[in-house]
A and B are shown apart, each in its own frame.
Chain A
Amino acid sequence: MSIKFKTLSQLKELLEKKELSSYELVSETFRNISSSKTNSFITLNEEAALNKARDFDEGKVDGDLAGIPIAQKDLFCTKNLKTTCGSKILENFIPPYDATVVDNLSKAGSICVGKTNMDEFAMGSSNETSYYGTVKNPWGLERVPGGSSGGSAAAVSEGLVCAATGTDTGGSIRQPAALCGITGIKPTYGRASRWGMIAFASSLDQAGTFARNAEDCALLLNHICSHDQKDSTSISDAQENYLDNINNDLKGKKIGIIKEFDISSLNREVQDSFEQSKKIYESLGVNFVEVSMPNIQLSVPTYYVVAPAECSSNLSRFDGVKYGYRADDVGNLEDLYIKSRSEGFGDEVKRRILIGTYVLSAGFYDAYYKKAQQSRRMIKNDFVEAFKNVDVIMSPSSPSSAFKIGSKTEDPIEMYLEDLFTISSNLAGVPAMSIPHGFANGLPIGLQLIGNYLEESKILNFAHQYQKSSDWHLKNPNLGESS
């Protein structure tokens, strides 16, 4: 029996009916990974995974996700399993503890098969900044999978695993989900614990997940999200069961279209898919209204002050002393810091540390950092206003389908604009997801659904109803034949 492209729910059923053992499932997963050409994984967890599968088959593991192999983005600390964050500086880092998200998923019975490739420290939109090589898009091996969670997205898209975790600081789940033709969700800031996630920009970073459909995402989110005392920004409000409202009728609900996002400037196929998706929702009884968000155009510049500022501060911990890479032949302590960091970090990480250092330095702080924090509030206020009138906001997830490897690496700003549609949700902290909704140039594109604070249930409901009325999420790449 081929396990490729099976959904989490389908695999769960096969395990429950004992038509498949977890050991067979996990063994087959490793066989598929070893013959994959996408470079989706940095580290495999074969021995421990097979042991846990055996335990499940012997009835020693239970839980909602019991016996199901999943992948973890290599940004989550995993106890006794190498965690590189896509960087040379953490090439040999073996955390002594699990991130809360990893722990939650493990307690739900899932089996971690390995750590997925990613842009270095999650800084990138194409996976090309990884020290461990670029991930290739299963829909076309010369194309990028998006980023930064490109390895997780590619692994699910290719059918290697039915689910993988990701993190989203400016679009790092939604953009790769779109470019790889799968479903991905980033919950409200603070809904999932950041404890054990290697920090990039702490006020924006949020854990989430990829799966083959919205229903599986809901099931995973039930376990990924939790209140955690170890994260001071963790939300303590009661958590819903995200499957409870997934079948709600959408009749009479309202979707907002952002007036300031100029869809007409995008590729014709991206525009057409967007119109088609509107029609699908209209057929479900949803009404469309235009919402004005006058400050949303400030999102990308605001983000490229706030995120580098936080990054420069967070990444100061990498000093070659306590863990991570240490350079050889150093004279004194300062040389050790400078040489270890200069040899350990890649170019994009250095660029962002330098921008952050600049905007936080004396004399520039008010002009850049404070100004960006003020515009961040203006963007947040736009969302608060918009959600007074609509249930969900809808836009494309990214401006185009997957681009060719190497085509945007020379110009950082062109790469930054990949996240044009996704960044504002991180600045405001609202939940958002991407679902497949068509093709442009023969490659998948995504539809973004943004929800109000703590309304993950609602966007999952909208996504699930869409997927019951369409088949875009059922399309799979044909590796070997696609170019």
Chain B
Amino acid sequence: MDNKTIETISYLARLKLDKDKKEKITKDLENIINFVAELQDLDTKDIAPLANPLEKVAPKREDSVTSKSRKEAFLSNSPESDQDYFMVPKVVE
């Protein structure tokens, strides 16, 4: 787990690590990755991956409207919103 890897994954996760914590977090991640690395030696030939314990297919339902618009309720939770929109810094120069 070198500095470049940490920089890359932090950017992918849109996180910036504090300078004073970076060393400790890097070391922790390295230890955790080493801890889970034992899985790599496991013989998993012919074992299908299990994503969900129930292995159920998502059920289908009637294609009908089940909920009403609650635009105001949802917009009111935004740190910054206009009548119809979530507000963010200017995207297009």
Binding site for B on A (CB under 8 A): 93-96, 189-190, 203, 229, 232-233, 235-236, 298, 300-302, 304-305, 312, 316, 319-326, 330-339, 341-342, 345, 347, 350-351, 353-359, 361, 367-368, 370-378, 380, 412-413, 416, 427-429
Contacts and interface: CB of A to CB of B under 8 A. Distances in A.
A444 to B, nearest CB: 29
Contacts, number: 166
Interface string B58-93: 110100000000100110111110000010111100
A302 B89 contact: no
B40 interface: yes
A32 B57 CA distance: 47
A413 B31 contact: yes
Given A336-B88, A350-B17, A378-B47, 16 more contacts: A190-B53, A203-B51, A229-B59, A302-B36, A323-B74, A338-B16, A342-B16, A350-B25, A351-B25, A354-B9, A357-B9, A361-B8, A373-B51, A374-B44, A416-B35, A428-B53
Contacts of B36: 301-302, 304-305, 359, 368, 372
B58 to A, nearest CB: 4
A335 B15 CA distance: 10
A203 to B, nearest CB: 5
B52 A203 contact: yes
Contacts of B79: 320-321, 323-326
B50 A376 contact: yes
A418 to B, nearest CB: 14
Contacts of B35: 300-301, 304, 413, 416
Chain B contact residues, majority secondary structure: loop
Contact of B40 (A229, A355, A367): A367
B39 A233 contact: no
A238 to B, nearest CB: 16
B53 A332 contact: no
B91 A333 contact: yes
Given A337-B14, A371-B42, A351 B70 contact: no
B19 interface: no
Nearest to A339: B16
Contacts of B56: 190, 233
- Closest 6 interchain pairs by CB? A429-B53, A373-B49, A326-B79, A96-B73, A377-B50, A374-B44
Interface string B6-28: 10111011111100010001001
B61 A301 contact: no
A11 B76 CA distance: 39
Contact of B58 (A232, A316, A356): A232
B50 A322 contact: no
B14 A334 contact: yes
Interface of B: 5-6, 8-10, 12-17, 21, 25, 28-29, 31-33, 35-40, 42, 44, 47-54, 56, 58-59, 61, 70, 73-74, 76-80, 86, 88-91
A235 B59 CA distance: 10
Nearest to B61: A229
Most interface-central of A189, A236, A367, A377 (chain B CB within 10 A): A377
A341 B14 contact: yes
B76 to A, nearest CB: 8
Contacts of A377: 47-50
17 contacts: A96-B76, A190-B53, A300-B35, A301-B36, A301-B39, A321-B88, A322-B74, A322-B78, A333-B91, A334-B14, A345-B15, A350-B17, A354-B6, A359-B36, A372-B39, A377-B48, A416-B35
A1 to B, nearest CB: 42
A43 to B, nearest CB: 16
B22 to A, nearest CB: 11
B57 to A, nearest CB: 9
Given A338-B15, A350-B17, A354-B9, A96 B77 contact: yes
B25 A358 contact: no
Contacts of A359: 36
Nearest to B66: A229
